Amino acid sequence: MNEKDAYIEHLENTIKDLQNQVNNLTEMILLLRKDKFGAKSEKTPQIDGQLSFFNEAELEAGPDEEPIIERKGSFYKRKEKTCVHINVSEGI
């Protein structure tokens, strides 16, 4: 009986270890998905001596001003549909 008890205990320990490993891998997958597909801030650190082309308009506009967006007309024109009528009964 001692051999069976030892084997059962070994199997229970193996199950516990595998459950811990599954939990750790699941947590890793969640963190990696969040890192890859989650919301990100696109802010980059300012490097001294490097020119910044995109921040000039933001600095001049000030924090209280909202940009004015105007939309004029549509972006494309659709072509008119044309139909060609063929009289089939004349050829018979």
pLDDT at 67: 60
Say which residue the tokens 């000039």 belong to.
56
Q: pLDDT by residue (tens digit) across 27-81?
A: 999 999 988 888 776 666 666 666 666 666 666 665 565 666 676 666 666 677 7
Say which residue the tokens 């459950």 belong to.
19
DSSP string, the chain: -HHHHHHHHHHHHHHHHHHHHHHHHHHHHHHHHHHHHS------PPPTT---SSHHHHHHH-SSPPPP----S-S--PPPP------SGGG-
What are the structure tokens assigned to 4, written together? 């069976």
What is the dihedral sign for C-alpha 58, 62, 64, 66? negative
Indicate whether this model's pTM tops 0.85.
no
